[in-house]
A and B are shown apart, each in its own frame.
Chain A
Amino acid sequence: MTAQTALPRPRTGRLRIPARPREQRAPLAYLARALAAPLVVTIPVAVWLIVAAPGSLRAPAAAGAAAGILALVVAVAVAAQERWRARRLAGQLDALRAEAERFADELLPAAVRRITAGETVDRVLTAVREPLTGPQRRMLALIADRVGSSESRRAAAMAVGANAAGRMQALATGMLADLRQMEHRHTDPAVLHDLLHLDHRTAQAGRLADSIAVLTGARSGRRWAKPIRMESILRGAMGRIAGYQRVRLHSTSEVAVVGHAAEGVMHALAELMDNAANFSPPTAEVHVYVEEVPAGSVITVEDSGLVMGEVALRRAQSAVAAGSGDLTGLSGTRLGLTVVGRLALKHGLTISFRPSARGGTGAVMMIPQELLTVPRPGMDAGPDAEPLLPPEVPATAPSVPAPAETPDPDEEARHTAPELGESGLPKRRRGQTLSAAGHDGPGHDRPAARPSAGSAGHGTAAERAARFSTFRSAVHGTTPAAPAPAPDHESPASAPGADRDEHNATAPSPESDAR
């Protein structure tokens, strides 16, 4: 295959410079212009010589002049022709160089970019409108082919990685939830110890899956439906690293991280903590400080291990800063900072490194204000929901004779523990829920029955009474404004008879609903 066959517009390229093309003959006008000046000078001189010569010498003079002029014309013509050709070749060379540069600087990169962006190789090649030489076209085809195949290999590998990481994440999350259930179910300390060990291992595996998911561009694994308190963020991050027992948290922060960013923040923090724990002596502690600033929250992870030099600091900084970059610089063993960089870019976190006052390195993470929120009290059923409950109870039950000022242990114990009747069995006061449901005036013994026990998820005693009231009116068809207080202090052990059956059949067991 010669160069010309594949060319849309055949062009004599640099490959054929030795073979002199035919059309490279100077045009007559060019020759005439080149010859004009010497002829204009030499012809008058020759005429003058012939005229001035004596008669006998005129003929030889004329012949000599004619020969001289002829030689001059030939020489000038040849020189002009060569000069014309040199100029023309130089022009062609310039054009070729410009074309090669355009090919290398514009056409090829554009084609590679389009292939990387996902277009097929064939479409990109046929879309090239510019005239190309054969070698250029072959080069373009080769490069496009290679880029296309490597791009599809990369995409396939990424998809496989993302898919596998996603499944691993789902498995790890499910296992963590299962383990949490088992930890609640098994009370044997030895079993609990083993479960906690498994829990820790699973959390680390989950972090690895999260890292791969972040690097392969999969969507982030867990999403929290609620804001996560800073303490939980720190502990969640800490629980995912091997050396969590060396991490010391120092936080009085009351803020929470919004649900959609909590997982990313936790993951990035876990990577930073893991770095700090791995690059410090196995017995040294890693200290984590939280500070609230106007722009957000600053979390500092400080270790007392190796001091990072200027170069290492800069490298770490650039690894974190290159958040959107590809995985080319990935070393295989050091995924952490790249993951942190990706997460920082995604959530708008700011990460920086500096020498630590503790002798090692400090990693500083800034969480911007828009990712923070102040948790509502009672937002979750966790320990923080508690202040809503018991201490205010005496205020809602005005007839309790001695409020909290005189802490009588026995009296208080009866509020929390079931009170014992004469028989020694736990005893309920009859009708208390019924009367609370009837109306909310004073005069009842203790309308708020055992408010501190287990009521975190079921509302207050008043709500329970309201629910029961609705139920009762629905069963009886009566209004709840007519309470029928049952006789008080009937010992449950003394009346197991048939009248009690009947009673319970008509009035649908207020006691059983009180719980």
Chain B
Amino acid sequence: MTPRPGREEDPDRLYTLTSGRSRPVSDAFDLVTLVVAECDPVPGMQSEHAAILRICRRPTAVVELAADLGLPVGITQVLLCDLLDTGRISARHPRTVRTAAQLPDPEILEQVLVGLRNL
């Protein structure tokens, strides 16, 4: 821990970012939901919203967004819900069906594990 805690961080507390909300109103977002911006940031927007819109010019996973913003995932989800409600972003889940069908044989995975341990 740094000798001067809090010296480097920002003064705004997390609850002021979301007006005290800590859980998203919808469950549209989980950790790997891909988010795409539908518009550009406008002046006067909350800076986190603007940052999300900038990062999400390319599809970005929620967890990556949270890491980029330096915010907890829960707070990020609340912010994303706000943007989703106003239609500024769209969200979709990564295609899990195809990857689930293509999961390799457990034996191969085991061999990989053994090989990795031998490294």
Contacts and interface: CB of A to CB of B under 8 A. Distances in A.
B72 A496 contact: no
B86 interface: no
Interface stretch (A45-53, A117-125, A408-416, A435-443): A408-416
Contacts of B48: 383
Interface in B18-68: 19-20, 22-23, 34, 36, 43-44, 46-48, 50-51, 54-55, 57-61, 64, 67-68
B61 A235 contact: no
B54 A387 contact: yes
B4 to A, nearest CB: 9
B106 interface: no
Contact of A173 (B6, B17, B59, B118): B6
Interface stretch (A93-101, A103-111, A222-230): A222-230
A422 B94 CA distance: 17
A231 to B, nearest CB: 5
A222 B112 contact: no
Nearest to A263: B11
A387 B50 CA distance: 11
Contact of A238 (B16, B46, B73, B109): B16
Nearest to A222: B6
Given A192-B74, A417-B61, A496-B116, A203 B5 contact: no
B118 A176 contact: no
> Helix, strand, loop or mixed for chain A's interface?
helix
Contacts of A500: 115, 119
A145 interface: no
A378 to B, nearest CB: 13
A183 B14 contact: yes
B59 A416 contact: yes
Given A177-B5, A413-B34, A493-B112, A196 B12 contact: no
B16 A244 contact: yes
A232 interface: yes
Contacts of B64: 416, 452-454
B22 A224 contact: no
Interface residues of B, number: 56
Contact of B14 (A189, A199, A250): A199
Given A177-B9, A235-B12, A239-B15, A416 B119 contact: no
A386 B6 contact: no
B6 A236 contact: no
Nearest to A199: B13
B61 A193 contact: no
A488 to B, nearest CB: 20
B12 A245 contact: no
A223 B108 CA distance: 56
Q: How large is the interface on A (under 10, 10 to 19, 20 to 34, 35 or more residues)?
A: 35 or more
A429 B71 CA distance: 30
Nearest to B102: A424
Given A199-B13, A239-B16, A413-B59, A454 B54 contact: no
B6 A176 contact: yes
Contact of B58 (A193, A225, A416): A416
A196 B11 contact: no
Given A416-B59, A452-B60, A456-B68, A245 B20 contact: yes
A213 to B, nearest CB: 16
Contacts of A231: 12, 46-47
A312 B75 CA distance: 42
B44 A251 contact: yes
Interface string A175-218: 01110100110010110110010011001000000000000000
A386 B68 contact: yes
A196 B73 contact: no
Given A199-B13, A200-B13, A390-B58, A225 B8 contact: yes
Contacts of B118: 496, 501
A367 interface: no
A232 B108 CA distance: 52
B59 A239 contact: no
A292 interface: no
Interface in A472-511: 492-493, 496-497, 500-501, 504
A165 interface: no
A92 interface: no
A262 B94 contact: no
B19 A425 contact: no
Instruction: Identify the interface centre among A199, A252, A416: most chain B CB within 10 Å of its CB.
Output: A416
Contacts of A228: 10-11
A424 B43 contact: no
Interface string B78-119: 000000000000000010000100111000110110111011
Contacts of B69: 383
A252 B68 CA distance: 23
Nearest 3 pairs of A and B residues by beta carbon = A496-B115, A383-B51, A236-B11
Interface of B: 5-17, 19-20, 22-23, 34, 36, 43-44, 46-48, 50-51, 54-55, 57-61, 64, 67-70, 72-75, 94, 99, 102-104, 108-109, 111-112, 114-116, 118-119
Interface of A: 173-174, 176-178, 180, 183-184, 187, 189-190, 192-193, 196, 199-200, 203, 222-226, 228-229, 231-233, 235-236, 238-239, 244-245, 250-252, 262, 266, 380-384, 386-387, 390-391, 404, 407, 409, 412-413, 415-417, 420, 422-425, 452-454, 456, 492-493, 496-497, 500-501, 504
18 contacts: A183-B72, A187-B72, A193-B22, A199-B15, A203-B13, A231-B46, A235-B12, A235-B13, A236-B12, A239-B16, A413-B59, A416-B60, A416-B64, A417-B59, A417-B94, A423-B104, A496-B114, A500-B115
Given A453-B68, A504-B119, 8 more contacts: A382-B10, A417-B59, A423-B102, A424-B102, A452-B55, A493-B104, A493-B108, A501-B119
